[in-house]
Structure 1
Amino acid sequence: MTELPRIISVDDHVIEPPHLFETWLPARYRERGPRPLTAGIGELAYVAGKYRITMDPDGPPTDWWIYEDLQFPYKRNIAAVGFDRDDMTLEGITRAEMRRGCWDPKERLRDMDLNHVEGSLCFPTFPRFCGQTFAEARDKEVALACVRAYNDWMVEEWCGDSDGRLIPLCLIPLWDVPLAVAEIHRNAARGVRAVTFSEIPTHLGLPSIHSGHWDPFFAACQETGTSVNMHIGSSSQMPAASPDAPPAVQASLSFNNAMASMMDFLFSGVLVRFPRLRLAYSEGQMGWIPYALERADDVWEEHRAWGGVRDIVPEPPSSYYYRQMFCCFFRDKHGVASLDVVGRDNATFETDYPHVDSTFPHTREVALDHVKGLDDETVFKLMRGNAIRLLELDHPRYR
C-alpha cells in the first residue's frame, strides 16, 4: 500500500448551533420549540445508564437546550476533541470552550483535512441519536416541525456548502410511521440516502421490528435506497450492569446493543421481506460478529422449528448479514484479524469526532496500524469503498 485512501467516516457527531431552530423552525412554532440558553450547571452524574442533571445559577457556565420540560446540557465528554485525555470529563461545557469544528461546518471540514478524512456522516446530539427527544415531546405538532427543521438544517446548512464531504443523516418522527415514510421520501428527493433509527425500538416504548409496524418505513427506505443507521445508545438504554458500576463498565459493554439488535433483525424476517434494505451499526465495533453469526446459524439449524423462525427465515441468518448489513470500527484489531468472517464487504471505518472515543487528530496513524498487511483492495473497501456503497454516494469525488 503506497498511501492510505482518504477516509469516509460513517459515524461522527454534530453539536447543534444555537440558531438552528430560530432559523429553520417555522415562526409559528418557535415559542414552543427548543431554545438555547447559557446557564450554570449543578449536579451532573451518570448512574446506572442514566444522567442526573440539575441547573445551578452559581455553577460552571454551560450551554443548554430548553424544550418543554427538558433541560439538556452539552457535556465535555461529547465535545472532547482538543482536550487532554484526562480532561475529557463529565462536566458541562459551552460552545465557546469546544473546538469550533464541533458545530461550525467550515471548521469541521478543516479538521477533517487535518485528520485524513474526506467524508463524514454525523449523528445528532440534542435530538439524541435517533430523535428520541422529539418522540418524547408532548406536543407532536411542534415535534414534527422540529424533526423537519433539523433535517432542513442538516441538508441545507450543515452539509450544503461542503461539496459532498458532509453527508446528510436525517431523522424521522418515530411516533408516526406514515409521517416517517413521508419524511423519507421528502429527503430522498433532495439526495439524502441515510436515516437514523433506534437499535431496539421497544426500549423507547415503540412497537418491535417483529410486529410489522415498521414495514412501511423499511419499504420506503428500500424504495429510495436510504440506509438505516443505528448508533449504540439509540434505544436510550445501555447494556445492563450492576447499578453502582462505574460508567466504564457500560462503555466496555456498549457493543452488546448492536449485537442484540443484529440478532433481532436476523430472525425477524425483515431482511427476507426487504432484500435490498441496508442496515448499518454505528460505534458497535466488529470483533464480536464472527461468533454471533456462528451462534445465529447454529440456532437456525438446530432450533428453528420450536424457535419460531422456521417459516419466516428460509436461509441461514448469516446470509442476510453478508447481503444487507454493515458494521464499523475504529479500534478493533481483533475484528480486523477476523475480517474473512466479519466480511470484507461489510466493514466500514469511523472517527467518532468529537466524542471522547474519537481518534482525532491521529486517525490516519490508527487506521494504518489496523490495516497493515492487508491488500490494497481490502484497505480501500474498509476506508471508503464500503461506505460509498452503504450510503449510495454519487458525488463525483466518490465515483
Structure 2
Amino acid sequence: MTELPRIVSVDDHVIEPAHLFETWLPARYRDKGPKPLTEGIGELAYVGGKYRITMDPGGPPTDWWIYEDLAFPYKRNIAAVGFDRDEMTLEGITRAEMRRGCWDPVARLADMDLNHVEASLCFPTFPRFCGQTFAEARDKEVALACVLAYNDWMVEEWCGDSGGRLIPLCLIPLWDIGLAVAEIRRNAERGVRAVTFSEIPPYLGLPSIHSGYWDPFFAVCEETGTVVNMHIGSSSQMPAASPDAPPAVQASLSFNNAMASMTDFLFSGVLVRFPRLKLAYSEGQMGWIPYALERADDVWREHRAWGGVKDLVPEPPSTYYYRQIYCCFFRDKHGIASLDAVGRDNATFETDYPHVDSTFPHTKEVALDHVKGLDDETVYKLMRGNAIRMLGLDLDRDRDRDRQWS
C-alpha cells in the first residue's frame, strides 16, 4: 500500500450552533422552541447509565439548551478534541471553549483535512442520537417543527456548502409513523440518503421492530435508498452491570446494545420482507460480530421450531447480515483479525469527532496500524469504498468505472 485512501467516516458528531432554531424554526414556534443559554453548571454526574445535572449560577459557565422542562448542557466529553486525555471530563463547556470544528462547518472541513478525512456523517447532540429530545416533548406540533428545522439546518447549512464532504443525516418524528414516512420522502427528494433511528425502540416507550408498526418506515427507506443508522445509546439506555459502577463499565459494554439490536433484526423477519433495506450500526465496533453470527445461525439451525422463527426467517440469519448490515470501527484489532467473518464488504470506518473516543488528529496513524498487512482492495473498502456504496455517495465514480471495464 503506497498511501492510505482518504477516509469516509460514517460516525462523527455535530454540536449545534446557538442560532439553529432562531434561524430555522418558523417564527410562530420560536417562543416554545429550544433556546440557547449560557449559565453556570452545578452537579454533573453519570450514575447507572443516566446523567444527573443541575444548574448553578455560581458554577462554571456552560452552554445549555432550554426546551420545555429540559435543561440540556454541553459537556466536555462530547466536545473533547483539543483537550488532553485527562482533561476530557464530565464538566460543562461553552462553544467558545470548544474546538471550532465542533459547530462550525468551515472549521470542520479544515479539521477533516488535518485528519485525513474526505467525508463525514454527523449525528446530533442536543436532539440526542435519534431525536429522543423531540419525541419526549409534550407539544408535538412544536416538536415536529423542531425536527423539520433541524433537518433543514443539517441539509442546507451544515452540509450545504461542503461540496458533498459533509453528508446529511436526518431525524424523523419518532412518535408518528405517518409523519416519519413523509419526512423520509421530503428529505430523499433533496438527496438525503441517511436517517438516524433507535437501536432498541421499546427502551424509548415505542413499538418494537417485531410489531409491524415500523414496516412503513422500513418500506420507504428501502424505496428511497435511505440507510437506517443506529448509534450506541440511541435507546437512551446504556448497558450497565451494577447501578453504582463507574462510567467506565458502561463505556466498555457499549457494544452490547448494537449486538442486541442486530440480533433482534436478524430474527425479526424485517430483512426478509425488505431485502434492499440497509442498516448501519454506529460506534459499536465489530470484534463481537463473528460470534454473534455464529450463535444466531446455531440457534436458527437447532432451535428454530420452538424459537418461533421457522417460518419467519427462511435462511440462516448471517445471510441477511452479509446482505444488508454494515458495522463500523476505529479501534478494534480483534475485528480486523476476524475480518473474513465480519465481512470485508460490511465494515466501515469512523473517527468519532469530537467525542472523547475520537482518533483526531491521529486517525491516519490509527488506521494504518489496523490495516497493515491487508491488501489494497480491502484497505480501500474499509477506509471509504464500503461507506460510498452504503450511502450512495458521488465519490470515486471514475475508479469504479475503470474497474468495471478493466
TM more than 0.5: yes
Give the partner amino acid of 2:2: T
Q: Distance in 1 between matches of 2:112 and 2:397?
A: 15
Match of 2:404 in 1: none
TM-superposition CA deviations, 1:170-221 (whole Å, max 9, x none): 0000000010000000000000000000000000000000000000000000
Match of 2:151 in 1: 151
- What aligned pairs does 1:175-190 form with structure 2 within 5 A after superposition? 175-190=175-190
TM-superposition CA deviations, 1:214-249 (whole Å, max 9, x none): 000000000000000000000000012101100000
- What aligned pairs does 1:167-182 form with structure 2 within 5 A after superposition? 167-182=167-182
8 A contact 2:127–2:133 mirrored in 1: yes
Offset, 1:396: 6.7
Give the partner amino acid of 2:229: N
Match of 1:279 in 2: 279
Q: Distance in 1 between matches of 2:334 and 2:124?
A: 29
Offset, 1:394: 2.2
Q: Distance in 2 between matches of 1:317 and 1:76?
A: 40
Q: Distance in 2 between matches of 1:302 and 1:359?
A: 42
Gaps of 5+ in 2: 401-406
Q: Distance in 2 between matches of 1:138 and 1:395?
A: 42
Match of 1:242 in 2: 242
Q: Distance in 2 between matches of 1:397 and 1:85?
A: 39
8 A contact 2:240–2:249 mirrored in 1: no
- What aligned pairs does 1:130-141 form with structure 2 within 5 A after superposition? 130-141=130-141
Give the partner amino acid of 2:72: F
Q: Distance in 1 between matches of 2:26 and 2:156?
A: 15
TM-superposition CA deviations, 1:317-370 (whole Å, max 9, x none): 000000000000000000000000000000000000000000000000000000
Q: Distance in 2 between matches of 1:155 and 1:44?
A: 33
Offset, 1:395: 5.1
Does 2:166 match 1:166? yes
- What aligned pairs does 1:282-297 form with structure 2 within 5 A after superposition? 282-297=282-297
Offset, 1:38: 0.1
Percent of paired sites with the same residue = 89
Match of 2:75 in 1: 75
Match of 2:328 in 1: 328
Q: Distance in 2 between matches of 1:175 and 1:229?
A: 18
Give the partner amino acid of 2:359: T
Match of 1:340 in 2: 340
TM-superposition CA deviations, 1:136-177 (whole Å, max 9, x none): 000000000000000000000000000000000000000000
Q: Distance in 1 between matches of 2:292 and 2:275?
A: 21
Offset, 1:397: 7.5
SS in 2 for 1:228: strand
8 A contact 2:388–2:395 mirrored in 1: no
CA RMSD across the alignment: 0.8
Give TM-score scaled by structure 2 length. Answer: 0.98
TM-superposition CA deviations, 1:247-283 (whole Å, max 9, x none): 0001000000000000000000000000000000000
Q: Distance in 1 between matches of 2:30 and 2:322?
A: 45
SS in 1 for 2:31: helix
Match of 2:64 in 1: 64
Q: Distance in 1 between matches of 2:3 and 2:105?
A: 27
- What aligned pairs does 1:197-216 form with structure 2 within 5 A after superposition? 197-216=197-216
- After superposition, the Cα gap between the structure-2 partners of 1:209 and 1:62, relative to the gap in structure 1 and judged at 3 Å, is same
Match of 1:42 in 2: 42
SS in 1 for 2:353: coil
TM-superposition CA deviations, 1:304-323 (whole Å, max 9, x none): 00000001000000000000
Give the partner amino acid of 1:90: L
TM-superposition CA deviations, 1:7-28 (whole Å, max 9, x none): 0000000000000000000000
Gaps of 5+ in 1: none
Does 2:373 match 1:373? yes
Q: Distance in 2 between matches of 1:312 and 1:64?
A: 47
Match of 2:14 in 1: 14
SS in 2 for 1:174: coil
SS in 1 for 2:236: coil
TM-superposition CA deviations, 1:76-115 (whole Å, max 9, x none): 0000000000000000000000000000000000000000
Q: Distance in 1 between matches of 2:147 and 2:280?
A: 21
Give the partner amino acid of 1:350: E
TM-superposition CA deviations, 1:27-69 (whole Å, max 9, x none): 0000000000000000000000000000000000000000000
Match of 1:2 in 2: 2
Match of 1:253 in 2: 253
Q: Distance in 2 between matches of 1:396 and 1:259?
A: 32
